[in-house]
Amino acid sequence: MPPPTLIAITGLPATGKSTAADQLARDLSTPAFSGDWLLGALKPHGVLTGLDRPTLLAMYYDLLTTLITRQLMLGQSAIVDCLINDATATRWQTLATQHDARALIVECICPDEPEHHRRLTTRRRNIPGWHEVPWPHVERMRTEYPPLTVPHLTLNALNPVEENLVRLHQALAD
């Protein structure tokens, strides 16, 4: 039996990370944890109201880390769909190592800004309790989350989804 794998799929909104995470979860029968779905579940209960951004982000990443840890403790893989930086990627790689698991960090990009904008404005995620993301949010996230410098696989949203999934499966097979 292969060791469990933590697969963290990151990238700005509308770069294909949720599409890749969801399809990979189906292909591998592995749970996929999405930060936006967690926040959508919390928002109607007022948990997010009045939180400053550092506290919100700490809660967000701690919730995801707890879910990852539980899966790895069970000897099972986990897929995480959220925006991360180098520090979080390194933290999760260390966590995987502590549980005798592999870690694969995947960054989704969309280098064509008009296409990226089109993708964002035409998508409907329908996450209960959560909002659709406006373009100014993407621009803010671009400054807060620079491209990763830790070792990672890059998937380009301009490529067909199927091609990106093949690359993802190949990286997992290596």
Cα–Cα distances in angstroms (integers) from residue 158 to residues 59, 69, 78, in the given order? 33, 33, 26
- Answer whether residue 141 shows pLDDT above 70: yes
Which two tokens mark 3?
A: 């060791």
Q: Give the per-residue pLDDT at 114.
A: 97
Q: What is the DSSP letter of 130?
A: -
CA angle 40, 45, 48 (to 5 degrees): 65
Tens-place pLDDT, residues 151-161: 999 999 999 99
The answer to whether 6 and 65 have CB atoms below 8 angstroms apart is: no
- pLDDT at position 1 is 63
- Where along the chain do its domains lie? 5-173
CA distance linking residue 19 with residue 46, whole number of Å: 28
pLDDT in tens, 67-97: 999 999 999 999 999 999 999 999 999 999 9
In tens, the pLDDT along 2-27 reads: 789 999 999 999 999 999 999 999 99
The CATH H-level superfamily of 5-173 is P-loop containing nucleotide triphosphate hydrolases (3.40.50.300)
What element of type H or E holds 155?
strand 153-156
